[in-house]
Amino acid sequence: MPRPRTHDPDAVLDAAQLLAVQSGPAAVTIRAVAAATGVSNGAIYHTFGSRAELLGRSWLRAARRFLAMQTELVDTHLAATQPAAIEAVLAAAETPVLFAEQFPESARLLHLVSRDELLGDEVPEALAAELAGTDRTLVELMIRLARALWDRGDARAVEVITTCLVDLPTAILLRRDQLTDPRARHQLRAAVRAVLDVGPR
């Protein structure tokens, strides 16, 4: 039996994440996570409060990792000279590829479980607010990109960036499981450039 790691919440989140991607979210139970980590049921309940919060915290950690990577890529390109804004959008669109390379299980968790699935009655209000906050973080990033490109942050401009950062990567890379296909990445970059070339109304 593994040695108890009562002071390592990340190890518990790792175990919950792995169970979710290997066997589905329903497999994430306090008992299963306790068996995988050697941490007692009581210690897990003390730290996370409930199974719903444990799964939610696992997803939230993965989402924050993704957004942090995406933001860092955007920051790097926007700090450069023009046409850095276009490159920043391209880098943000390709973040799923880099994220899957660095955090493969977190990437699979985000693809397997949607945020809306986690926002049920069992999720504490504070956690629900944090989960919803990931959308705000993404929108703020898209507004920055729209302003860098067109000096506007209105809904129509953000809609174009949403197509580039959400719709195209989902359709080209994720739904077709082509994260490791170089041709798919070329297609994504070409599609993003075409959408940006048309621009917002």
pLDDT for 12-59, tens place per residue? 999 999 999 999 888 999 999 999 999 999 999 889 988 889 999 999
Residue 190 has pLDDT above 70, yes or no: yes
Q: Specify whether the CB–CB gap between 18 and 28 falls below 8 A.
A: no
Shared domain for 193 and 169, answered yes or no, is yes
d(CA 155, CA 35): 48
* Contact residues for 49 (Cβ-Cβ < 8 A; gap 6+): 124
Q: Say whether pLDDT at 81 is over 80.
A: no
Confidence of residue 2 (pLDDT cuts 50, 70, 90): very low
Q: What is the mean pLDDT of residues 62-88?
A: 90
Domain membership of residue 102 as a residue range: 58-198
Written as one string, the DSSP assignment of 138-166 is HHHHHHHHHHHHHS--SHHHHHHHHIIII
At residue 139, the pLDDT reads 96
Which CATH number covers residue 162? 1.10.357
List CB contacts of 160: < 8 A, sequence separation 6 or more.
146, 195, 196, 198, 199, 200
Distance CA 181, CA 91 (A): 16
Q: Domains in the chain: how many in total?
A: 2
Structure tokens at 123: 């999720």
Do 41 and 67 share a structural domain?
no
| Biggest alpha carbon–alpha carbon distance for the chain | 61
One domain, residues 72 and 89 = yes
Q: What is the mean pLDDT of residues 94-101?
A: 96
Average pLDDT score over the chain: 90
- Exposed/middle/buried for 81, CB within 10 Å: 0-12, 13-18, 19+? exposed
Quick one: how far is CA 12 from the chain centroid? 19
Q: pLDDT band for 119, please (50, 70, 90 cuts).
A: low
CB atoms within 10 A of CB 99: 21
Q: State the amino acid at position 129 in one-letter form.
A: A
Q: Is residue 4 pLDDT above 70, yes or no?
A: no
Token pair 């444990």: residue: 54
If asked whether residues 45 and 62 sit together in one domain, one would say no
Question: What number is the average pLDDT over the span 145-166?
Answer: 96
Here the CATH number for the domain that contains residue 25 is: 1.10.10
Residues 96 and 165 in one domain: yes
Instruction: Please say if the pLDDT value at position 113 is more than 90.
Output: no
- Report the pLDDT value the prediction gives residue 160, as an integer from 0 to 100: 98
pLDDT digits (tens, 9 = 90+) for 68-77: 999 999 999 9
pTM strictly above 0.75: yes
Please give the share of the chain, as a percent, with pLDDT higher than 70. 94
Same domain assignment for residues 69 and 20: no
pLDDT, residue 69, reads 97
- Confidence band (pLDDT; 50, 70, 90) for 6? very low
Whole-number Å distance between alpha carbons of 62 and 83: 31
